[in-house]
Structure 1
Amino acid sequence: MKTIHLLFISVLSIHLSYTQDIKPNEVKNIMKKVADWQIMHINDAYSNDKPHHALHWTNAALYVGMAKWAEMADNDTYYNWLKGIGDQNNWQLHERKYHADDHAVGRMYAALYGKYNQKEMLEPTIEQFNYILHHPANTKLNWATPYHQDRWNWCDALFMSPPVWADLYSITGEQKYLDFMLDEYKATTEFLFDTEEHLYYRDERFKGKLDKGTKIFWGRGNGWVFAGLADILSNLKPETSEYSYFLDIYKKMADRLIELQTPEGHWAMSLLGKEFYPTPETSGSSFFIYGLAWGINRGILNGPKFKKAVQSGWKAMTGYVNEDGMLGYVQPIGAAPGNASANKTEVYGTGAFLSAGSEIYKMVGAN
């Protein structure tokens, strides 16, 4: 009995250390620092030689995290910044009607609708998605087929578009949005999900390929998926079959991800090849931290192994923020494992970091 008691005390002390080492005010301070730096540098060029369009998917991923930070901030400065972007662009989605990347900004519109309840914020998105419902793309998911990206045939797409459909379902209560999203999500998962590794191939071109003897599962690509799953689940009722479907994928990925985390706290750009890709990559890693912390905060992921993974990951991410507030080691735009460095950043990396911080802040006991 004494041994059991001592073991309980030991486990409890480990559990507490995972959260007490991170202070809520420190989380909030570094989130503000990173958010402020990014807003000051929003018109910089990053992966390319010119700034991204305000509605481009890169910025849309930033806005997702910035909206989460805006909810935490002490004033409406960040909400006003986001609202200004919506106003300047008449609350439109980006250029391509079917392409998931160009739907992603709708996530920011839904978040702002949740605060302001102004119907003009969502009307263009609803109109476009209703068109898609009545004129669905019938293209194949194979990469070389015509108009293949009119459907979600690459794993990044599962972050860009499905959560917007889930948002519309949650806001309007109309089942049609959820039904369409679920059918398309299932098609993508059947096409790209590896049932042995519980990870997603980036797209068809990587299925069956090896990199130094390992299957190629892109870190950020799976980060897109995992963060998107958390956001989809947030819009669904736990007692529904749809929730069970997404929860099953989420749990399988969560279990695999903590097995693949590096001793330094980040995840490799090629998830199964960390010895070949030792350089940190903060955008994918931040998305994993966000998704894991989200599950901890909702009682879905239990046990010290998850808290340890999240705390280790968050400490690693904050260590890659420079004194000015720039998050380094963000892999530039790509579709496969590549390169990152301390002086490389991107707006979606900031968005992922802010998303992670929003859940870390809750996890460490902030009110």
Structure 2
Amino acid sequence: MVKVSVVKFITFFAAVNLLLGCKVSAQTNTLDKNFIKASMIKALEWQEAHPIFAIAPTDWTAGAYYTGVAKAHQATKDQMYMAALKNQAYWNNWQTYSRLHHADDVAISYSYLYIDINDGRRDFVDLEPTKKFLDAHLFEDNVWKKGTDKSEYGRTILWWWCDALFMAPPVLNLYAKHTKQPKYLDEMHKFYMQTYNQLYDKEEQLFARDMRFVWTGSDKDQKEPNGKKIFWSRGNGWVIAGLALILEDMPKEYEHRPFYENLFKEMAEKIISIQPKDGVWRTSLLCPETYNHGEVSGSAFHTFALAWGINNGLLDKKYTPAVKKAWNGLVKCQHKDGRVGWVQNIGAFPEPASYDSYQNFGTGAFLMAGSEILKMQ
């Protein structure tokens, strides 16, 4: 009982903070393009001045952050974003992180590819470390591919957790496009389908984070307090944002493109249908009352993807008000100094956030959302 009471107190305090701590003036037009650009630049400047990462400057957190920086540059052409991209890539010496069979550790290469495509200086970017990673990742054997790991996580496929669908597939897809080597796209599809078949819940149109949260009909299945399945907002945000990135660069004529378009539409339909009234999704998608306050990282990834879908004709424009409402909610979670608060810390299932909690990937998601909101009519 004590533990439950503490959780309820934290949740109540968080919800009050969301209402009282993150405000924008009632007169502010948060959809004004100049306001959006200013909010994005403030987020960049604050994050660059307060570096944070889980393991190293080349890890997945930095990869997600600089993917957001790349999308911000793509939308605005502001050279502050390109400067940040080049600086980190140069000091990283264009390296990935070290675990060649772990999807997380190539996410940083999205920013390297973006620089190579958009900077125009062919003598500046070194994609050899990225190629080394991708070749090992796809074509070498490892214990996950062999299916010999029998842990509760279900590490019996290469991308055994749903977050991986943001980390590696967009890089593989973009690398295939940039280098004109479709074999990388075909391999991406092969491993993507393994994850889809293992973790996608067709009834709920959402992804379980990993096998711990896949329902089997057993009494041991994990449930939310309201009896529903556990679907993590950021986990599904990783997937749907990754789908938007994939579809943006995937050839229109690619034989498997319809699969990705249909999956994107299914997930988008579900995400929109469960949007809270204040526009910002809770960490638990089907049990929002568990931590009844908005969470930025998952919400910003959803916002980016939904706005991208509208902007690219995959979603009906009737959803535009819902997406704009989501952006208005995100803006309320940005501090005056630019910090993007209310980001759930590194995890793998629904947990609370707070006014002051931030992570670089949350800032990256915020930049991604802003980049697509800027394009909306």
TM-score (normalizing by structure 1): 0.87
Alignment-derived partner of residue 275 in structure 1: 289
1:193-212 pair list within 5 angstroms: 193-208=200-215, 209-212=222-225
Cα distance in 1 between the residues matched to 2:347 and 2:198: 21
How much has 1:116 moved relative to structure 2? 2.4
Alignment-derived partner of residue 135 in structure 2: 130
1:56-205 pair list within 5 angstroms: 56-73=59-76, 75-117=78-120, 118=122, 120-137=125-142, 138-140=145-147, 144=151, 148=155, 151-205=158-212
Alignment-derived partner of residue 307 in structure 1: 320
Is 1:249 the counterpart of 2:263 in the alignment? Answer: yes
Cα distance in 1 between the residues matched to 2:153 and 2:317: 47
Q: Summarize the Cα distance change of 1:303–1:86 in structure 2 as closer, same or farther, 3 Å threshold.
A: closer
Alignment-derived partner of residue 10 in structure 1: none
How much has 1:115 moved relative to structure 2? 1.3
Q: Write the letter of the residue equivalent to 1:207.
A: V
Alignment-derived partner of residue 41 in structure 2: 32
Contact 2:283 / 2:295 at 8 angstroms: preserved in 1?
yes
Q: Write the letter of the residue equivalent to 1:90.
A: N
How much has 1:241 moved relative to structure 2? 2.3
Contact 2:76 / 2:371 at 8 angstroms: preserved in 1?
no
Alignment-derived partner of residue 4 in structure 1: none
How much has 1:277 moved relative to structure 2? 2.4
Q: How many residues align?
A: 338
1:263-342 pair list within 5 angstroms: 263-304=277-318, 306-342=319-355
Three-state SS of the structure 1 residue aligned to 2:291 is coil
Moved more, 238-247 or 283-292: 238-247
Deviations 1:297-350 (A, max 9, x none): 11111131x112101100000011111111111000000000101111111000
Cα distance in 2 between the residues matched to 1:79 and 1:219: 30
Three-state SS of the structure 1 residue aligned to 2:256 is helix
Contact 2:154 / 2:160 at 8 angstroms: preserved in 1?
no
Q: Write the letter of the residue equivalent to 1:154.
A: W
Q: Write the letter of the residue equivalent to 1:165.
A: L
Deviations 1:53-81 (A, max 9, x none): 21111111110011122334564233122
Contact 1:86 / 1:121 at 8 angstroms: preserved in 2?
no
How much has 1:188 moved relative to structure 2? 0.4
Q: Summarize the Cα distance change of 1:145–1:202 in structure 2 as closer, same or farther, 3 Å threshold.
A: closer
Alignment-derived partner of residue 242 in structure 2: 228
Deviations 1:220-259 (A, max 9, x none): 0000000000000111123332211111110000000001
Alignment-derived partner of residue 360 in structure 1: 373
Cα distance in 1 between the residues matched to 2:40 and 2:323: 16
Gaps of 5+ in 1: 1-19, 46-50
Identical counterparts, % of pairs:
39
Cα distance in 2 between the residues matched to 1:21 and 1:327: 15
Alignment-derived partner of residue 50 in structure 2: 41
How much has 1:145 moved relative to structure 2? 7.9
Moved more, 51-60 or 24-33: 51-60
Contact 1:142 / 1:153 at 8 angstroms: preserved in 2?
no
Q: Write the letter of the residue equivalent to 2:254.
A: T
Q: Write the letter of the residue equivalent to 1:276.
A: T
Cα distance in 2 between the residues matched to 1:28 and 1:325: 12
Cα distance in 1 between the residues matched to 2:149 and 2:366: 32
TM-score (normalizing by structure 2): 0.85
Cα distance in 2 between the residues matched to 1:154 and 1:191: 9
Cα distance in 1 between the residues matched to 2:158 and 2:39: 37
